[in-house]
Structure 1
Amino acid sequence: MTIMYEWRGDFDNASLDALHADGFGHPVDPADWRARLERHSLGWVCAWESGSLIGFVNVAWDGGAHAFLLDTVVAPRCQGRGVGAGLVATAADEARAAKCAWLHVDFEDRLRPFYVDACGFRETAAGLIAL
């Protein structure tokens, strides 16, 4: 099947809720994704296969040079097929087109091979406070 990547793709909240729950392994927790994204994001990328939402990444930003990846998720049945790397590549292209100079991502150690090896991020020192 062909996978289509769409910048600022038109999705419904229920589909993204279901994908998020499936991909992150938690119960469906309804959210108004559309309002959240419109308020805080440079954009987002949807991955579609046969009309179904199979992947998503949010590109938040500071309104200037820095963009940030959040909520990168691929349906478990589609993982290992390059869908996540395609989402990140599209996000990077669109952030670059918006004149961002940097694309940031935080990740758990188990995701290092994906973000560093498959997507080309370089490791940097960073800090985090759990709130």
Structure 2
Amino acid sequence: MAIKYDWRGDFDNASLNALHADGFGSPITQTDWRARLERHSLGWVCAWEDGSLVGFVNIVWDGGAQAFILKKVVARHLRSRGVGAALVAAAAKEARAAKCEWLHVDFEEHLRSFYFHACGFRETPAGLIAL
């Protein structure tokens, strides 16, 4: 398995929509990811295997010290092989290069071990309002 990681990698919407459907177990949508990311993101990391998009993570920010991981997804056939941790590590490296001081992530309980052990996040108090 030779996975290539690209900061602000060039992807097409169809490939990212298909990856999201595979990774999140949902129907394929027609989301215009390119427009959304260009408007709201510090950047993103694409993971490629043999020319296919197999992983993705979006990093949004406040324009200053705070960056946030959103929409990390790995193709189902590559899970538990280090692709997700490598995506997060690349994202952290680029957020640090942009002079961010903090990288935040929210996650579901079943991902706790991944983010704390594989990626090095630490637990902090946080709040959430469901809108």
Establish whether residue 117 from structure 1 lines up as the match of residue 117 from structure 2.
yes
Corresponding residue for 1:84?
84
Q: Could you say which residue in structure 1 is the equivalent of 2:129? A: 129
Residues 1:23 and 2:23 aligned together: yes
Q: Tell me what 1:9 maps to.
A: 9
Give the 5 Å matches for 1:53-68: 53-68=53-68
1:73-131 CA distance string (max 9 Å, x none)? 00000001100000000000000000000000000110001100100000111111111
Matched, 1:35 2:35: yes
Could you say which residue in structure 1 is the equivalent of 2:98? Answer: 98
Secondary structure in 1 aligned to 2:48? strand
SS of equivalent residue, structure 2 residue 114: helix
Give the root-mean-square deviation of aligned CA atoms: 0.4
CA displacement, residues 21-50 of structure 1 (integer Å, 9 cap, x when unaligned): 110000011100000000000000000010
Structure 2 gaps, min length 5: none
Distance 2:57 2:128 in 1: 21
Question: What code does the residue aligned with 1:122 have?
Answer: R
TM-score normalised per structure 2: 0.99
Q: Distance in 2 between matches of 1:23 and 1:85?
A: 15
Distance 2:103 2:3 in 1: 24
The residue type paired with residue 113 of structure 1 is: S
Q: Which residue of 2 aligns with 1:48?
A: 48
Gaps of 5+ in 1: none
> In percent, how many aligned pairs have the same letter?
76
Matched residue count: 131
